[in-house]
Chain A
Amino acid sequence: MKFLTRSIAAAAFLIGCIMLLPIGWGEANPAKVETGVNRRIAWYGVLEDGLAEAKRTGKPIMLLSAAPQCAGVSGMW
């Protein structure tokens, strides 16, 4: 019973991660090996840099944040 509860909880967490996985942060078809990188959004990865660029250009900001690990495992948003 304990095992079942744990398994359900683990599955629910993984599904949650996948649902929130925005979204093109980690692309998708595991079997597919593609060559060349498709067009992507050019992100600022440091808040200070992004705010400085917004100040320089007067442009509004699209802010996103995500943990570069899932349940402590790196390499996946």
Chain B
Amino acid sequence: MDRSFLSNDTLIKASQKFVCIRLATYEDKKETAFLTKIYTGRSGELENTVFCLLTPDGKQPLSRAGRSPNFSFHSPSNLADEIVALSAKYPAKPVKANSSPVFPKIKNFRLGLNVASCDNLPCVVIIGKDKQEVEKTQAKLNEVIWSDEIAGRFVFCSTTKIDDLKDIQDAEGKTIQITAGILAIQPGTYGIDGTVLEAIKLDLDAKELGGKLISIAKAFEFKGKNHSQHVRSGNRQGIQWETEVPVTDPDSIRAMERNQANRKR
């Protein structure tokens, strides 16, 4: 199997004709119910991964659902061709001039940092004293994040709770004390801590903000992870991620039970 399936350039280009949604399995009740309707494995339960192409209302499948794209498509270019063909049947409708894309955030900071770690991407967190302040900053970011140089190169999330940042340190190893602003964070190996790459000032104009994000993306160093080593060393260090919804994938449950038993020894 080609591990770079979704990193294929032709597919990435074609994906712009679709809205791409990647959920975190077992991290939201409503999303779990939605995914369970789309695909369950032989066990009849939601498994770790799901893939499907859907109509714009999200109600009808446009491809066979499965655990990953290569269950239905033999190559990235095969999936790209299908996306292009389907987009001709579902042409994008003209959007109102004053309408902006929906901001692509992860539902909370804890999950955002973990997703950024999984993706080997910098995590950009918007910090505000309340929802209004966060939304104002979000709107400003939304003006610049869809350029080719920025789109897909960050994981965005927000928080109004300073306590969320207790495991984030600055370059000198000090805990972050900030009540409003934007932080670009290098996620730790397990996505449960991180180091600030840059604190971005809120008074930057859109051009400056875009330039800042581009320079962070260019300078970002990502270290590939070896899957089995990562899981082994995570177990040794007692890393245990608490999911929002109980895991139902039978293979995962067995693996977690084995890990717990090993830790008790």
Contacts and interface: CB of A to CB of B under 8 A. Distances in A.
A-B complex is real = yes
Interface of A: 6, 9-10, 13-14, 16-47, 49-77
B19 A20 contact: no
Contacts, number: 337
Given A73-B241, A76-B231, A58 B90 contact: yes
B105 A69 contact: no
Contacts of B121: 37, 40
Interface residues of B, number: 113
Contacts of B132: none
Interface of B: 1-9, 11-12, 15, 17-28, 30-31, 34-35, 38, 48-58, 62, 67-70, 83, 86-87, 90-93, 95, 99, 101-107, 111-112, 114-115, 117-122, 146, 148, 151-153, 155, 187-192, 217-231, 234-235, 239-241, 243, 247, 249, 251-252, 254-256, 258-259
A18 to B, nearest CB: 5
B230 to A, nearest CB: 5
27 contacts: A6-B258, A17-B231, A18-B227, A23-B2, A23-B4, A24-B4, A29-B224, A36-B218, A44-B22, A45-B155, A47-B31, A50-B20, A54-B56, A54-B58, A57-B19, A57-B95, A64-B49, A64-B69, A65-B23, A66-B48, A67-B24, A67-B243, A69-B243, A71-B255, A71-B259, A72-B256, A74-B191
